[in-house]
Amino acid sequence: MDPITEMLRDENNELERLAAKRDELKKKLEEHRSGNISEEELKQMVEERKDIEKEISLRTKHRDELIAAAEKNKNQGEGRNIMNENILHFKDGMERMDVIATAEYRSAFFKRLQRKPADEIEKRAMTSAATSAGAAIPTQTMDMIIGQLRESDSLLSLITLENIPALTSFPVENVVNDAAWVSEGTDSTPSNDTLKAVALAAYTLIKTIKITAQVARMSIDAFETWLVNALVRKLRAACDKAVISGTGSNQPTGLDSQSWDGTNSVTVAAGSTATYDNLVDLEALVGEGFITNAVWVFNRKMKATLLKLKDDQKRPLFERAIEDGFVGYLLGYPVRLDANVKDGEAYFGDWKSGYVMNFAQPIEIASSEEAGFMSGSVVYRGMALADGKPTGVKGALVKLVQATA
């Protein structure tokens, strides 16, 4: 056995081991629905599953590199046949989530979108992963989408954004007490710190994308980049709006729907604009454990108002600066603009601790040639199941509220 084939087999064995471990965790997560595990155990399992998914992704990438190297080095004949047999053997018994992480599935997926013929291995990969809902976006592509969502200047880069299948609740910490020093041999007193669970559903998010005949002439890498950019633009707009103003009815619950009172908000009188004192009072409401990562979010009209504010020394409160998706600093904290926030209002705090969103399954793709028959185009429907909610953790996020007349 040549070195590449041996390494490929070892990598496949390790991927099978990781997949089995992940499946075991999946079963335990399912048990949470019936209340058989604690919220603390749930949090540990969620983190462990994320680590396993990350390792599977890295090892899958390495395996694909080995396959590419073997294809490059092997000539026609016995060597190529041995490699193909090894690949086919690896496919046997694979779960759907494992199949869509392979290079063969990725190639088949994009060839299908571009109406290009697939080879036998690619056809087998596509058949193994098929569902009645359509073809799942390859893992590598989904990682690109989630990565771009997190790296963009949208709210999704601020919140906790997960991609965990079958997740029905997300554990968050209610931090109440700090750690304490005790004398040697002295028993520690349990604190009343608690974990709470944010219940998550799976609401349907649908966006359509139209491609033309010219797209069929793109390379797979170029087409993948085009598709990711198109999906990210559409997903970002819908999800950003949901984070702020989602109703919770067949869509995520937005921050506007949360209860705001004197413990987590400061109210600006009707007909008035925010003052320096209002902002200082709001800053004081953020918990000590969250202030370090605090970020302001408001719209452009509010930005224009705050640009005029000065402190007691007549120094501007708003410092202009464009970096990492931020437009400046207010009271020393970064500012992100979002058009979905109402005029005169602002959110402030640690967004990752204050809001969580989860994509409950990989995005599914279905196509139709009928809608674009006259123009020779194909319409693709991207469908995702997702939900998001404020965590309700005290002191994580606070709000500047504009009173109505």
Which domains, from first to last, does the chain contain? 3-135 (no CATH), 136-172+194-405 (3.90.1690)
C-alpha–C-alpha distance, residues 229 and 382, integer Å: 13
Amino acid identity, position 258:
Q
**CA-to-CA dists, residue 234 to 134, 145, 208, 227, angstroms:** 19, 11, 9, 11
**Do residues 63 and 101 make contact, with C-beta atoms less than 8 angstroms apart?**
no
Percent of the chain with pLDDT over 70: 73
**Do residues 355 and 171 make contact, with C-beta atoms less than 8 angstroms apart?**
no
The pLDDT assigned to 127 comes to 77
The pLDDT assigned to 338 comes to 93
If you search the block for the tokens 């073809």, which residue do you land on?
A: 135
Low-confidence ranges of the chain (pLDDT < 70): 1-5, 29-39, 69-97, 129-135, 152, 166-180, 182-196, 213-217, 362-363, 365-376, 405
Closest CA to 203 of 17, 388, 16: 388
**Do residues 94 and 127 make contact, with C-beta atoms less than 8 angstroms apart?**
no
The pLDDT assigned to 345 comes to 92
The pLDDT assigned to 90 comes to 42
Three-class HEC string of the chain:
CCHHHHHHHHHHHHHHHHHHHHHHHHHHHHHHHHCCCCHHHHHHHHHHHHHHHHHHHHHHHHHHHHHHHHHHHCCCCHHHHHHHHHHHHHHCCCCHHHHCCCHHHHHHHHHHHCCCCCCHHHHHHHHHHCECCEEECCHHHHHHHHHHHHHCCCHHHCCEEECCCCCCEEEEEECCCCCCCCCCCCCCCCCCCEEEEEECCCEEEEEEEEECHHHHHCCHHHHHHHHHHHHHHHHHHHHHHHHHHCECCCCCECHHHCCCCCCCEEEECCCCCCCHHHHHHHHHHCCCCCHHHCEEEECHHHHHHHCCCECCCCCECEEEEEECCEEEEECCEEEEECCCCCCCCEEEECHHHHEEEEECCCCEEEEECCCCCCCCCEEEEEEEEEEEEECCCCCCEEEEEECCC
CB atoms within 10 A of CB 196: 14
**Cα 82-87-90 angle, rounded to 5 deg:** 125
